[in-house]
Amino acid sequence: MLVRTKVATISPAETEGVGKKRLWTMAHQDALIGYLFILPQLAGITIFVVVPLVLVFWYSLHEWNVLAGNFDYTGLDNYRQLFADPVLPEILRVTGIFSIGLVAFNMSLALLLAILLNQKLHGIILFRTLFFSPVVVSLVAWTIVWGFLLQKDGGINGLLAVIGVEGPNWLRNETSAMVSVIIVQVFKNVGLNMVLFLAALQNVPGELYEAALMDGASRWQQFLRITLPLISPTVLLTAIITIVGSLQVFAQIAVLTQGGPGTSTTVLVYYLYQQAFQFHLFGYGSTLSILLFVIVAILTFAQWQLRKKWVFYEA
């Protein structure tokens, strides 16, 4: 914007003779100012993203035993080990189940809550705040409390007992452990997606619903034909955030199940942590983090490409 303003104020006389040189200088200065503006961001990305990424790739080509202090170049051995790892398919299956469960539950609940809270009712702000509040709570504290609630004789089974239901040992059964971890994660973050959906819903023009109503459209048809298309950019945004987040869940697993029972909740990030930090296999751990990066990159790219097919304003 600054550049255009300056160029617009240059008189024709100034563009003649030495003007050529001046114009180049101004462009150069503008570019420099621009670079200065983005320098902090560039520095941050370089230090915290590019350098670690390059280093992690470099480490993945090595066998690195932290205790022994060995750092030996092994070429693609870690990548061969990756394809031959008998546990990895199970880890990827668990990761897939976790991500799909989390994304589906989180987004449906967030949308449902947003629709319910998009009413002009007395005290509605209190409810909105209530549902958003877990987002600002410390993740580990939140998870530890849930850990107590999910114990065999914990609060949840205590409540179930009141209505005569004997609850399962939530974190000790393969299926209920996975369900528990998903629920704990969804309740923690659903408020964020809810707020985004709420903002999107409030931007849908009311007259569209009035027109639809006059045309005899049902509530469901209004939702499908008006609401959903108009909030689709937000759906895309929340989908990307939630999918990426689901692939990076760690603290909940570490606190609640440590990947168990068996390997039923050992998602890729936790497996990576085990290999690198518990088994001291930093080279292989780095290879797993490259795999995670590739998976996240592919999913994001695919979503970005698919947006034209289902995001309203991209059509």
Partner 1 sequence: MTKTSRSQMMLATLSLLGVLGVPIGLERATAQESISLRVTVWTGNKAHLDLFNGIAEAYTKAHPTVTVAFDTLPFENYTTTLTTQIAGGNAPDLAWIFENSAPDFVNSGALLPLTEILKSTPNYDVGDIAPSALALWQRKGEVFAYPFSTSPFGVFVNNDLIQKSGQKSAGEMLSSGSWTWDKLIEAARIVNAKTGKAGLVVRDFDYKGWDNLATIWGGWNARPWSEDGKTCGFDKPEMAQAMSFIHKAVFNDKAMPEPGTAADFFAGDAAMTITQISRASLLPKDGFSWDLLPLPAGPSGSYAVIGQAGIGVFKNGKHPEEAARFLAFMTNPENSEKLAQFFPPARQKLLKTDVLAKTNPLLKPEQIERVVIKGIATGEVKPSHTGFAQIQQLVRAGLDQIWKPDADIKAGLTAICGRIAPLLAR
Give contact residues for partner 1 (rule: CB under 8 A).
Answer: 45, 48-49, 51-53, 55-56, 59, 65-69, 150-154, 169-172, 240-241, 244, 248, 250, 258-263, 269, 272-274, 276-280, 282, 285-286, 289, 292-293, 296-297, 300-301, 304
Q: Do residues 64 and 231 make contact, with C-beta atoms less than 8 angstroms apart?
A: no
Q: Rounded to the nearest whole angstrom, what is the least distance from the CB of residue 278 to partner 1 in the complex? A: 5
Q: Do residues 173 and 226 make contact, with C-beta atoms less than 8 angstroms apart?
A: no
Torsion, Cα of 38, 43, 44, 48 (10° steps): 150
Nearest to partner 1 of 169, 201 (CB atom): 169
Q: Which two tokens stand for residue 70?
A: 């060995």
* Residue 195 CB neighbours (<10 A): 18
Give dist(CA 147, CA 162) in Å, integer: 20
Q: Rounded to the nearest whole angstrom, what is the least distance from the CB of residue 207 to partner 1 in the complex? A: 33
Nearest to partner 1 of 19, 260 (CB atom): 260
Q: Rounded to the nearest whole angstrom, what is the least distance from the CB of residue 110 to partner 1 in the complex? A: 18
Provide the terminal-to-terminal Cα distance of the chain, rounded to the nearest Å.
29
Nearest to partner 1 of 60, 118 (CB atom): 60
Nearest to partner 1 of 229, 260 (CB atom): 260
Q: Rounded to the nearest whole angstrom, what is the least distance from the CB of residue 300 to partner 1 in the complex? A: 5
Q: Helix 174-202 and helix 124-136: axis angle, to 10°?
A: 130
Q: Which two tokens stand for residue 226?
A: 């008006």
Q: Rounded to the nearest whole angstrom, what is the least distance from the CB of residue 170 to partner 1 in the complex? A: 7
Nearest to partner 1 of 113, 276 (CB atom): 276
DSSP letter (8 states) at residue 215: T
Q: Do residues 190 and 109 make contact, with C-beta atoms less than 8 angstroms apart?
A: yes
Q: Rounded to the nearest whole angstrom, what is the least distance from the CB of residue 237 to partner 1 in the complex? A: 9
Nearest to partner 1 of 45, 213 (CB atom): 45
